[in-house]
Structure 1
């Protein structure tokens, strides 16, 4: 039987997709991250946040946008996520921004030791000059920040607790960013590189003696199983990491204004959840390690200042000399220090 033009037009006119407004037509977007998977209610809060984001955006767009979550580097290796976002081959990812420092040195401001020392200061960046400039730089490089997420961090060690800078001398230590590596080198450590999902294997085999990472990763990657000491960030930290939920600008730009608005609104709404969960993990990590028999210590203001002084003379100086954007971001960030 031949299909007439009238038959085709009739079929299109009665199609459910044809009857939907353009902004409500479904797109299935992929969200990648390197952290352990769970559910909306349980597990690593970064995975939970991605699932909450997906559910809320789907609801607000009446099913026009749908999402698939890929935890545990199932879709993309940790260090490959940022370049994939820039090229538009990956839709969304929740990833430590400093992982992209090799290709875009400006982003290392997101794990600059001693520059951010509280959640209040970190979250204030979003609406401060430094946050607006960082947002502009990322947009110019193909990235949209959807949710601002900050995490304090601590140090897991296979032997002694890492408190003062001299405690790292001679040890193989993972810092998490080139700038963190600079202050570890200055303090006498042998720097080991790698994403957070490789720390467990490194500490188990002895290729790492100690590792700095977020409180949440200290828990989620079960580092208490390979640690004898923990230095927490609950009383103050020189290690604060910016770990946003990001979207490819190529993907974002092809969405309708309504879909874009839904994505940005839900992303902003979830920042309160992220902050609350990160702070809860800062407190919970101590109990997790104590139950495993590890020694748990905290930092005080005098110790924080020692690390900050080293950072100012090494990491801050090196970063500020990279290019004009870096120098400007550093100057704007220093304005937020109280």
Structure 2
């Protein structure tokens, strides 16, 4: 992804043309929704790495104020504050971006990504550049990095789920994302949008029976306390989306932009490593089992049943409810996945 580097070059050229200027101190408000605990949150770990590089390499002339646990508002509010340059860096979820750039629902095409390495290759390559350009054209927000990705599992409090037939009638919490709603409804469940900060209560009181998230996010929300079964479907790849605005970037000097770019790249690497480390050491399937959850890994044949129902339903909703841009983005993503698999694994 080259959009931030290109912006840095433009700022540097502007500084050279304008002549020398005294650098002003900069405060960067970085906001995310996870707990302020780097031992359990990959988002917060990446934020801390970002803060460390910014502050040490600027000799304190640049300061990062991390606002965790949604203290700066919900997903939509944080996006709006980023557009207004009140938040300088927002670590968003796809549900937040989708409210401003609906075509991004295409990223949640079920079973599109076979593993993390392919996903990272796709987002770091030409597809990621194109996606960043599209987001900017629609929202005026700059996509800085896609990081800290992990695959979704399905959990519920009612029964073991081995195939779509077992999902019949389950009330499944989703984000207010059309692709998620279409997917769960196609699998026979009753998709029910619930805000993240209301999810634990909704599961506890039976407003919904089920949810889907990566295991580290299950742990962040203590959802293991109110669920009994988990199915390792790996149907979606959930990532953190770092966004900023030109209102912020255009006021940085060339040297400040250099430090900022370096910090973003380091945070991308740290976030991905932290997510994988958390899964390996704390928040893998063993975590679920230790908390009394019965875990089932579907066979390839069972997974194909999920895929054959979910993927066409999402493609249909992309075409019918969002439009040609979303369909084109989904097709481009699938092409990028196929290219990445060939480049990495030599797959046909």
TM-score bracket, shorter-length normalisation: 0.7 to 0.9
**1:13 aligned partner:** none
C-alpha separation in 2, matches of 1:78 and 1:274: 19
Judging changes above 3 Å, is the alpha-carbon distance between structure 1 residues 66 and 182 closer, same or farther for their aligned structure 2 residues? same
Q: Check if 1:227 corresponds to 2:233.
A: no
Which structure has more RCO (C-alpha within 8 Å, separation ≥ 6)? Answer: 2
CA distance in 2, matches of 1:86, 1:166: 44
Greater Rg, structure 1 or structure 2? Answer: 1
Indicate if the aligned counterparts of 1:156 and 1:231 stay in contact, CA closer than 8 A: yes
Aligned counterparts, 1:164-183, within 5 A? 164-176=163-175, 177-183=177-183
- What is the CA–CA distance in structure 2 between the aligned matches of 1:135 and 1:69, rounded to whole Å? 24
Whole-angstrom distance in 2 between the partners of 1:70 and 1:133: 30
Note if contact 2:75-2:93 (Cα within 8 Å) is conserved in structure 1. Answer: no
Q: Aligned residue for 1:143?
A: 141
- Residue 237 of structure 2 is aligned to residue 240 of structure 1: yes
Pairing 1:254-273 to 2, within 5 Å after superposition: 254-273=251-270
Question: Which residue number in structure 2 is paired with residue 331 of structure 1?
Answer: 331
**Which residue of structure 1 lines up, in the alignment, with residue 185 of structure 2?**
185
Tell me the residue number matched to 1:133: 130
Shift of 1:241: 1.5
Deviation at 1:78, TM superposition (A): 2.9
- The TM-score, its normalising length taken from structure 2, stands at 0.82
**Counterpart residue number, 1:200:** 200
Partners of 2:254 and 2:181 in 1: CA distance: 42
| Paired residues, number | 313
**Range moving further from structure 2, 198-207 or 157-166:** 157-166
State the shift of 1:139 in Å.
2.1
Equivalent residue for 1:306?
Answer: 305
Which shows bigger deviation, 114-123 or 201-210?
Answer: 114-123
Structure 2 gaps, min length 5 = 1-19, 339-348
Q: 2:100, 2:136 → 1: CA distance?
A: 15
- Counterpart CA distance in 2 for 1:85 and 1:128 is 25
1:97 aligns with 2:94: yes
What residue in structure 1 maps to residue 248 of structure 2?
A: 251
Shift of 1:168: 1.8
Displacement after TM superposition at 1:320 (Å): 4.2
Contact 1:129–1:332 (8 Å) recurs in 2: no
Q: TM-score, normalised by structure 1?
A: 0.85
1:301 is displaced (CA, Å) by 2.7
Contact 2:49 2:263 survives alignment (8 Å)? no
Q: Counterparts of 1:166 and 1:281 in 2: how far apart (Å)?
A: 32
Deviations 1:104-128 (A, max 9, x none): 2122233332222311221112343
Q: Which residue matches 1:32?
A: 31
Q: Distance in 2 between matches of 1:263 and 1:109?
A: 29
Residue 21 (structure 1) shift:
6.6
Structure 1 unmatched ranges of 5 or more = 1-19
**Aligned position for 1:319:** 318
The answer on 1:109 being equivalent to 2:109 is no
Report the Cα offset of residue 315 of structure 1: 0.6
Alignment of 1:28-107 (within 5 A): 28-39=27-38, 42-107=39-104
Asked if residue 278 in structure 1 is aligned to residue 275 in structure 2, the reply is yes
How big is the shift at 1:31?
1.2
Provide, for residues 194-246 of structure 1, a one-character-per-residue CA deviation record: whole Å limited to 9, x for no partner.
3433321211111110000122111111111111112236xxx1111232222
Q: 2:151 corresponds to which residue?
A: 152
